[in-house]
Structure 1
C-alpha cells in the first residue's frame, strides 16, 4: 500500500488539474468608464471584491475622457460593453443606434455643482437659498461638465433653463476640472465625488447644488446616473454574458447590505488619496446609490423625457419603445 503522502500529492495534483482549466475559462471583457468618480465606482468595487471572477469574467476597466467617448467606442464596436449614462443611451437610440442597458450601477444623479468661492459671493445668492434662486444665479456662468449628452449636463441644463437661466457649458474630463476652476478658466463645474469635494475642502469652492441629495426638480433627475450598456444585437447573441454582468451588480448590492466594512475597505483602497473623514462622509451618501435597483421601462421613458426637455436633437426617439432599451 502506498504511503499517505503519495495519496495527498495525488489529490493536490488533481486539484491543480481542475483549477487550471477553471481559471482558463474566465471570459476577458474590457469595460470603458467615463471617469474615476464615485458615480462610476460600482464596477471597480465589484472587481476589487472578486465579483467578476465569481461569475466567470476577467474584467479590464479602461478610463476614458467622458461617457460620450465610451459610447462612441461601443457603437464603433471597439468594445462590447461600456459603463455610460442615460443621456448617451437616449441620444444613441434617438439617432438609430440600438444601445441597451444591461444593469443599473448608480441610482439617481451622482453629480453636484460647485462654484468658485469668489463667484458664489458675487452672485449675491446664498448656497442655502431656494433651489430656483441658486439655479437663476447660474445664468451666463461658464460651467465645466463632462459632455453635452452626459446626465450631469442634461440634468442641470434642463433645471436651469426651466427658471430662465442659460449656463455656458464647456466640456472636459473630471480630473481636469479642479485645476481649471482654481486657475479661473471656469467659474464652476459639475462632477461626482470625490472631485467636487477637493476645491470645497481647500476652501476654493462652494457646494452649490447637490445631485445625490436630489435638490433638482424630479423631472430633471435621472433614474440612473450610469449603467452597463451594450448593443442590442450583441446582447441577443450573448445572453449568458448579460446574465453574468447583471449578477455581478446584484452581488455588489448584497455585499453593501451584508458586508459594508469589506466594501468600504475596497473603496478606501481604490481612493487612497481620500482621507478617512472625507471617505466616511462620501461613503454614507454613495453606498445607497451603488446598491442600485434594476431599471424598468418606466425609468427609460423618464430618461427619454428629460433628455428631450433640453432640446437635444433626437430624430428617431419617438419611435423607440422604452422597454426595448433594456436587455431582456
Structure 2
C-alpha cells in the first residue's frame, strides 16, 4: 500500500482544511494520524477518539492503520500524508539516524514483550511460572523460539534480555523469525516452536488453543526496566513541530488524557476498547492481554534519555551508529526526561 493511498493529501492541504493555518470556527479540527492495527501497544492512540479526548482539545482524530509496519508510518509522516505517527521506537530512531527530519513527541507504551511456552517444553524445563525472571529466561536454553523478523523491535529486545541473563542468542537458542503472527500461533500449537515471543495481543492467542502458558510478560511488569524500554513513540515532521506548536500541544494533551484513562480507569477503558475493536477476540485471550497490562504504559507522555540510551545500546549497528543523533535535538522539550 503506498503512502499516498493512506491519506491522499499533502501536509499543507491538510492544515488548511483542518483550520490550523486560518481557524474558521470552533468546530473540532480534522486531524489524520497513523497507527498500527488495534493492539495493546496502540491502546492509548485508539482510546483518544473512543473516549472523546480529541474533541476535548479541539480535534477530530482520524486514525489510518498501517498493519504491523512502523516503516509505513514513518513514510506517511515524512510524505505529509498524516500529521502524526506512532511507530516502534527502534524504527523511529533508525529513521532519524538515516536522516529523517523527525521529532519525537513522547512515548505511549512500555515493554509489552510476552513469551508463551508450550506445555511440553514447560514440563521438560522444570521451571516455575512464578520463578525469578532470570530463571524463566534461562529456561529457554536449548529451545526453538518463534519470534519476529531479525531487526524488529521484539527480536532486538529478546536478544538483549537473553544476553543479560547469560544466554548466547546464536548458540543457546534457535530463533526463528516470522513475518506472519498467525504462524507463531500455529507453530507452537503444532510443536514446531517450544516457545513464542512477540507483542502482547499476539502470542496470547495460543492460550485459547491450550497450546501453552505465559512464561513472562513485560506488560504485567515481569521484566525490569519498563520505563526505559518504551516500545511506541509519537513522531511528527520537524517543520510541523516548528510551525504548528498549538497543534502539537493539543495532540499531546489528548494523548496524555488517554494515557491517564488507560492507567487509572483501566477496566472501563478496556471494556470500551474490547467492544469497539476486539469484539471477535476470544474472551480468554482478551482477559490475558488486558488484565495483564497493568505495567504496559508509561505514567506520562515522555521519551526519557534512559529510553534513548536503551535503544541505542541494543541497536544491531551498535551505539556508534548514533554518534550524530542528539537526544536533546530529536525530542521536543516537553517530552524530555531522565
Unaligned runs of 5+ in 1: 1-19
Return the offset for 1:246: 0.5
Return the offset for 1:126: 4.0
The structure 2 residue matched to 1:231, chosen from 237, 262, 266, is 237
Q: Give 3-state SS (helix, strand or coil) of 2:41's partner.
A: helix
Matched, 1:325 2:327: no
The structure 2 residue matched to 1:110, chosen from 104, 109, 112, is 112
Q: Which has the larger radius of gyration?
A: 1
Tell me, in whole angstroms, the C-alpha distance in 2 between the residues paired with 1:105 and 1:210: 18
Return the offset for 1:327: 2.4
Return the offset for 1:252: 1.4
> Relative to structure 1, is the Cα distance of residues 184 and 302 closer, same or farther in structure 2, using a 3 angstrom cutoff?
same
Partner of 2:98: 95
Partner of 2:12: none
Partner of 2:51: 49
Partner of 2:10: none
Matched, 1:205 2:208: no
Matched, 1:191 2:177: no
Q: Give 3-state SS (helix, strand or coil) of 2:254's partner.
A: helix
The structure 2 residue matched to 1:293, chosen from 300, 322, 335, is 300
Q: How does 1:249-264 map to 2 (within 5 A)?
A: 249-256=255-262, 262-264=268-270
Tell me, in whole angstroms, the C-alpha distance in 2 between the residues paired with 1:231 and 1:148: 27
RMSD: 3.3
Return the offset for 1:242: 1.5
Unaligned runs of 5+ in 2: 1-23, 334-338
Q: Give 3-state SS (helix, strand or coil) of 1:247's partner.
A: helix
Return the offset for 1:45: 1.7
Partner of 1:151: 153
Matched, 1:29 2:32: yes
Tell me, in whole angstroms, the C-alpha distance in 1 between the residues paired with 2:125 and 2:193: 15
Tell me, in whole angstroms, the C-alpha distance in 2 between the residues paired with 1:224 and 1:123: 30
Q: Which has a greater percent of helix?
A: 1
How many residue pairs end up in the alignment?
Answer: 303
Return the offset for 1:170: 0.2
Tell me, in whole angstroms, the C-alpha distance in 2 between the residues paired with 1:75 and 1:122: 49
Return the offset for 1:292: 3.5
